[in-house]
Amino acid sequence: DQQVKQNSPSLSVQEGRISILNCDYTNSMFDYFLWYKKYPAEGPTFLISISSIKDKNEDGRFTVFLNKSAKHLSLHIVPSQPGDSAVYFCAASGISYGKLTFGQGTILTVHP
């Protein structure tokens, strides 16, 4: 049972344009959501997070939107840069020791 889903395995975007990565979840007990970025042969690094009491959080070029009624979150990257090319994972946690449940990941490729 995949509680966190990223339905797009890959996304290709031109440099300078917006990248939108999507994530859906099924467990209504999740109250904290995160995005991680991963380069090959490295561990994931934290990018941005959002609590369920908010619907938007911004950090520089990165914005995460949360739609609780639809159980959907998205990550917007504006403007996209070639260095943003990586695998992006969304993750969710509830109150159970904060363990994270991850989606399958989306490979983002930003073309110069």
The residues binding another protein (CB under 8 A) are 4, 6, 9, 31-32, 34, 36, 41-46, 49, 51, 89, 91, 93-105
* Cα gap 33→48, rounded to integer Å: 9
* Cα gap 64→37, rounded to integer Å: 14
Minimum CB distance to another protein smaller for 17 or for 54: 54
Give CA torsion, residues 7, 44, 1, 62, to 10 deg.
-40
CB 55 to another protein: min, Å = 16
Minimum CB distance to another protein smaller for 14 or for 46: 46
Question: Are 81 and 71 contacting, i.e. CB atoms less than 8 angstroms apart?
Answer: no
CB 2 to another protein: min, Å = 9
Minimum CB distance to another protein smaller for 8 or for 79: 8
